[in-house]
Structure 1
Amino acid sequence: MNSTDLSVLKAAVDWLNNGHSVAIATVVQTWGSAPRPVGSWLAIRGDGQVMGSVSGGCVEDDLIRRVQSDILTRSTPEMVVYGVSQQEAARFGLPCGGTLRLLVEPKPEVQVLEAILHSVSHHQITSRTVQLSNGKSELEPGSRTDSFLCNEVFMKTSYGPRWRMVIIGAGQLSLYTADFALASDFEVIVIDPREEYAEGIDRDQVQFIKGMPDDVLLEIGVDSHTAVVALTHDPKLDDMALMEALKSPAFYVGALGSRVNTQKRKSRLLDFDVTQEQVNQLHGPVGLHIGALTPPEMAISILAEVIAVKYGVSIPKKN
C-alpha cells in the first residue's frame, strides 16, 4: 500500500468514526492509458470532501456528483465505468481513449477498515473479499503473491504495509539515498551507532535510530516489503547488518563496496550463520551500473536497482 492509499484508509476510518457518510471507490479495471493502477482508492465524504485519486483528476468531479446524488442512498456496491466511447474518454480527459472501471462502496464497514489499518500498521498483509450483492467484507491473511480479482460476484484485493527502505549508515550517500527513497514513496529508516552521526539525518520524514544495525533490524522486524542497504563501508557495521538482513524475508539486500571487496565480504559472511543461497541474494556492488561518480548519482543507481527488484525486472549480471 502506497502512502496515498494509506491516507485514504486513515481518512475513511476517521470520517466514519465521526459520523460522516462515506463512499469508497476502487479502480478495478483499466483499458488503454489510465492514469491510476488497479487497486487505487478514493474516499468521498457525504459533503463532497475527498481523499485520494482514481484518475489523477479526470473523473473525480463527476464521481462526487454521482455519489452525493445517488450512490450514497444505496446499500450495495455499484460499478461505475468511464470512457466507454472515444467521445466520453475525451469528455473526461482520459488520455489515449483510456477507460476506467470503478467499484463504489456506499456503506463501507468501519470495523473492517480499522482491521486493515491495524494489520498494515503492524507490517502484515490482509486480503479482503467484498460481496457485490450486499457489500459485506471478509478478511483473511494475505501474501505478496495475491492477485487483484473482480468479477460479477466479488472483489478480492490485498492490503500490505508501505514499502520500506532501511539504510545502514548516516553519511552523505545515505542522505541522498533517503531523499530519493522518500520521493519513490518508501518509508525510510536510517541506522547508525557512531557518535559522529548521533544527530542523524535532518529529515522530518526519515526515522533515525542510533544503535547497532543488527540489533535494530531484529527489533524493527524486516518483512518482505523491506529493502536493506548497507552504506557505511565499515565491515564491522555493514557485515553484522547483512548477516541479519540476508536471513530475513527482505526483498532486497545490498551493500556498498567494490567488486573485490564484495567478494571478500561474501566469503566473510559464509564464515558465520549465513548459507551460500542467502549470500547469493546480496546485491553488490550496490546499484545499477550507470557510471555513477557522485553521491547523488550513486543514490539514483541504488534506487533504480531496488525498484527493479521490487517489480521483478531483470537486472544485468555484475561481473
Structure 2
Amino acid sequence: MESLDLRVLTDALAWRRGGHGVTLVTVVETWGSAPRPPGALLAVRDDGVVSGSVSGGCVEDDLIARVKAGERTRLPSMIAYGVSKEEAARFGLPCGGTLRLVQEPLIDTAWVGQLLARTAAHELVARTLTLATGEVQLSGASRDARMAFDGSRLTTLFGPRWRILLVGAGQLSQAVAQMAQLLDFEVLVCDPREEYATTLDVPGAVRVAGMPDDAVRDLQPDLHTAIVALTHDPKLDDMALLEALRSGAFYVGALGSSRNQARRKERLAEHFGLTEAELARLHGPVGLRIGARTPAEIAVSILAQIIECKNSVAQTASAPGCSVA
C-alpha cells in the first residue's frame, strides 16, 4: 500500500505516458471549514478522469469542467473558491469555507518518476514549484518540515513524515502495517522470532533485524515516531518499552489486558527504575475502546489512538509523548 498523494502522482505519470494531458491541483490555503487541508492533491486528466481530492466533490466538478473546456495553460496559476458565502454554498464549502488552489499542467514528468523512486526508498522529499516558470526542484526534507507557500513558490512534502515501529510480526501487526502506510507512516517491524518474521508479507513495510530494545535504541525515536509492542511476550515487549518510554517517541503502546498492563508497569518500575511520569506515557490496553474484536478492528482502534496523539503533537509540538486519557 502507498500514500494517497503518491497514488495521485502515480496515476498522473501513467496518464501522461499514455498520451493524455494532465493538470495537477494543490490546496495551498484554506479558511473556515474547508473540506481538505493544505497540501491535498488532485490530478485531472484531459477527459475528466480524476485521482485524489481537494474538496467534497463540487469543486472537483468545476475543475473537471474547466479542464474539459480546454482551460489549460503551460504555466501554473492560482484559483480560489468560496470567496463569498454565495460561492461557498454553490461549491459545497461548509460555513463559508474558502479554498486557494495552485493548478499546474504536468508537462515535464521526469521529476515525478524521481520523486516516486525516492519515496519508495523511504526518503522524505520536498518538491518546490516556482509559479512564474513552472520549474520543479526536488530536495531532501527533515521530518519537522512543513508545507510552505509565499505566493510565488510552493513547497510540498512527499514520503513518510511519521514512522511507526511495530514490535511483533503477527497477524495484528500486519493489519496495523497495512493501514499505517495509507496514513503516510513509514512502517518498521521488528520480531526476532523467525517463525513470525518469515511470514511478514506487507509490501512497503521494512523488517528490522535484531532484538526489539536494540531496534528502539538504533531508531532514536523522536516526536515523529510511534512505537507499539504487539508480541504479548514480556521478554520482547518489556525491553522495547523500557527504551521507548525513555525516548522522545510521541506515542508508546502495548497489547494486553488492564491486569497485564498493571503487572507490566510494576515490573518496569521495580526492575528497571522507570518513573511514574515515564510509565504514565504507556497506552495500555492499546487503542481506543471501540469494542474491537478482530485483528482488523483492533488495528483500527490502535491507529485511531495514534492519529489522535499525532495530531495533538503536530498542533502543540511542546513535549514528548501523548498523555493517557
Query: TM-score under structure 2 normalisation?
Result: 0.73
Maintained 8 Å contact 2:188/2:208: no
**Could you report, residue by residue, the CA deviation over 1:24-44 in whole angstroms, capped at 9, with x for unpaired residues?**
100011122211111000111
C-alpha distance in 1, partners of 2:204/2:122?
Answer: 18
Shift of 1:129: 1.9
Aligned residues: 309
- Corresponding letter in the other structure for 2:129: V
Report matched runs for 1:110-121 at 5 Å.
Answer: 110-121=109-120
Shift of 1:136: 0.8
SS in structure 2 opposite 1:35? coil
Which of 245, 264, 268 matches 1:265?
A: 268
Shift of 1:117: 1.6
C-alpha distance in 2, partners of 1:316/1:240?
Answer: 21
**Could you report, residue by residue, the CA deviation over 1:145-193 in whole angstroms, capped at 9, with x for unpaired residues?**
2232223321122222275544323567657756875786757666545
C-alpha distance in 2, partners of 1:18/1:307?
Answer: 37
Aligned to 2:316: none
C-alpha distance in 1, partners of 2:183/2:125?
Answer: 23
Query: TM-score under structure 1 normalisation?
Result: 0.75
Structure 2 residue runs without a partner (length 5+): 314-320
Maintained 8 Å contact 2:190/2:212: no
Aligned to 1:55: 55
Report matched runs for 1:24-63 at 5 Å.
Answer: 24-63=24-63
Report matched runs for 1:191-210 at 5 Å.
Answer: 192=191, 194=193, 200=199
SS in structure 2 opposite 1:237? helix
| 185-194 vs 230-239, which moves further | 185-194
Change over 3 Å in CA distance of 1:175–1:125 after alignment to 2: closer
SS in structure 2 opposite 1:11? helix
Structure 1 residue runs without a partner (length 5+): none
Change over 3 Å in CA distance of 1:289–1:87 after alignment to 2: closer
Change over 3 Å in CA distance of 1:292–1:206 after alignment to 2: farther
Aligned to 1:14: 14
- Corresponding letter in the other structure for 1:169: G
Report matched runs for 1:53-132 at 5 Å.
Answer: 53-72=53-72, 74-132=73-131
Aligned to 2:136: 137
SS in structure 2 opposite 1:258? helix
C-alpha distance in 1, partners of 2:19/2:87?
Answer: 35
Aligned to 2:5: 5
